[in-house]
Amino acid sequence: MKFARTVLTSLLDYPKSVSVVLFTVGCNFCCPYCHNPELVLAKVSIAEEEEIFEEIRKRKITNRVVITGGEPTVHEDLPAFIRKLKKSDHLVKLDTNGSNPRMMEDLLSAGLLDYVALDIKSGMEKFHTVTGLSEESAKEMFKSVLETLRLLKQYSVPHEIRTTYVPGLLDERDIAEIKELVGDSTWYLQRFRPQKTLRSFTNVTSSTYEDLFKLASKFGAKVR
C-alpha cells in the first residue's frame, strides 16, 4: 500500500491509547465539507509501505495503529497490509465511510480489526448531497453503509458511529433519522470546522459546542 503521511504519536485517535496514525490516499466520496481534501484529490507526497513499517517499528511506545484517509477500503491491498500488522502483534483501528461491506466482512470474519469508526454522514434523503455522489450512486452507497453497520453489530467488534454536524446541511430531523439507524451503538456528533474544506464551506459557521451538546443529549449521542 501507499500512504500520504503518518502521525507518529496521537493521543486522540485510538480510544484510551496512544497510537500511530496512517493516512491513505483517495476516496470514493466527495463530501463538500471534507477537512482532508488533499487526500481525496491525491495532492500529497507518497510514502511506500516499507517506509511505513519501518516508522511503526521504531515506535516502541505503542502497538496501536489507526488507518484512516481518505477512504482506506478503496485499496484492494488493505487486508494484506493489516495482516502484516497483526502478525507483528499490533492492534488495528480502521476509520471508514462504510462503502465496502464486502471487504469489511472479510476483515471482520478474519478477526483483523480491533476497533472500527464508521461514518454515517446523513440519512437516505440527503446522502447524495452530503457525499457529493449522484442520486443513483448515493442510493447504492447508502445500502452499503447500512450493511457495514449490520456487520459491525453481527461480529460484535468494538465500534463507534460518527456524524459531522454541518449547519445548513443537516438539521435536527436528519439527526433523528440517523439515531434510528445507529440504535445502541456508541455515536458521536462531530463539530464541523470551516477550515481547508473541499468546496466553498469555509464560509459556513460552526455550531457552538453548547448547541451541539444540547442536540447530542436529545438523541443519546456524544460530542467530539
3-state secondary structure 76-113: CCHHHHHHHHHHCCCEEEEEECCCCHHHHHHHHHCCCC
The total number of residues written for the chain in this structure:
224
How much is the pTM? 0.93
Q: What is the pLDDT of residue 199?
A: 61
Please state the domain count of the chain. Answer: 1
SS3 of residue 154 by DSSP: helix
pLDDT value at 224 more than 60? yes
Q: What is the pLDDT of residue 126?
A: 96
Q: Could you tell me which residues are beta bridge partners of residue 171? A: none
Distance, in Å, from the CA atom of 192 to the CA atom of 207, rounded to the nearest integer, reads 7
Q: What is the pLDDT of residue 198?
A: 57
Q: What is the pLDDT of residue 115?
A: 99
Nearest to 15 by CA among 116, 110, 150: 116
| Residues 7-36, mean pLDDT to the nearest whole number | 89
Is the distance from CB of 27 to CB of 62 less than 8 angstroms?
no
Distance, in Å, from the CA atom of 17 to the CA atom of 178, rounded to the nearest integer, reads 28
pLDDT value at 204 more than 80? no
Q: Which residue has the cell 470551516?
A: 194
Segment 55-100, tens digit of pLDDT: 888 888 899 999 998 899 999 999 999 999 999 999 999 999 999 9
Highest mean pLDDT among 12-26, 45-59, 102-116: 102-116
Nearest to 86 by CA among 110, 106, 70, 68: 110
pLDDT value at 156 more than 70? yes
Q: What is the pLDDT of residue 16?
A: 93
Segment 104-151, tens digit of pLDDT: 999 999 999 999 999 999 999 999 999 999 999 999 999 999 999 999
Segment 165-184, tens digit of pLDDT: 998 899 999 999 999 999 99
Is the distance from CB of 35 to CB of 65 less than 8 angstroms?
no
144 grid coordinates: 452499503
Longest CA span, the chain: 47
Nearest to 171 by CA among 222, 118, 130, 119: 130
Looking up residue 130, the CATH number of its domain turns out to be 3.20.20.70
Tell me which residue range forms the domain holding 139: 2-223
